[in-house]
Structure 1
C-alpha cells in the first residue's frame, strides 16, 4: 500500500533538494530526500512506497536514466509515478517514460501543481 503523503526527491543539488523538501512539507507532504538515484533505489527496495518521485537526470553515481531503467525492471517499483526535473532542453525525443518533465528553473507553484497532477 502506498504512503500517499510521501514524495521522494532525487537531486544532487543540496540547496534545491532542501528547498523542495521544505516546500513539500509546507504543502502537507512528507518528503524523502536523496542526492542520487542509488540512494533512492535503496530506500525504495527496502520498503519505501511513495506516491510520487521527483527525479533529476544529471547526477553522479546513478543518474536519472539509470534510476528509471532499474525502477522499471522492478515489478514492485515500476508503477510509482515519476516527474523528471531537468535543466537539459530537448528531451522530448529521449526515451524517458516519465509522467511529466519540468524544466529548471522550476517555479514553486508549477512544482506543486505537477505533484498534485501526478501523485497516486
Structure 2
C-alpha cells in the first residue's frame, strides 16, 4: 500500500481527507499541519509515495515548503498534488514550475479523481516492486 503525506493546516479538511482516503482503502496516511512539520516529517521518516500539499498555511506555506524540499534534496522523486482553496491563476502557474508537482486541485477536493491518481501510483509502485524481485 502507498504512503500518503497530507500537509494541510485545516484540521477539518484533514479529517475529511483522511476519512475519505481510508474509505477508498488507503491506510498509511500521515498528516503535517504546516510546511515546517512536513519538512520535519521528510527529514525523519521514509519518503511517502505522494504528498498532498496545501499552499496557504501558517509557519511555512506550501511554496516555501517546496523551495526548502528542493534545496535540501528531500524525497526528490515523490509526486506532489497541490490541494488549495486558491483560485489564483498565478498559483496554478507557479505550481507548474515544479517538476514533481503532478496536479493542482482546488478545494473541495474531487476525491474520485484523487482516488484514481492514488490507484495509479499504487499500481506503478507494485510493478516496480515486482520487477525488482525478478
TM-score (norm 1): 0.86
Distance, in Å, in 1 between the alignment partners of 2:84 and 2:106 is 5
1:1-120 equivalent positions in 2, closer than 5 A: 5-29=2-26, 30-89=28-87, 90=89, 91-94=91-94, 96-97=97-98, 98-118=101-121
TM-score (norm 2): 0.77
Aligned residues: 117
Gaps of 5+ in 2: 126-134
Gaps of 5+ in 1: none
CA contact (8 A) 1:52 1:82 kept: yes
Q: Superposition RMSD on alpha carbons, in Å? A: 1.8
Please state which structure has a larger fraction of its residues in strand.
1
Please state which structure has a larger fraction of its residues in helix.
2
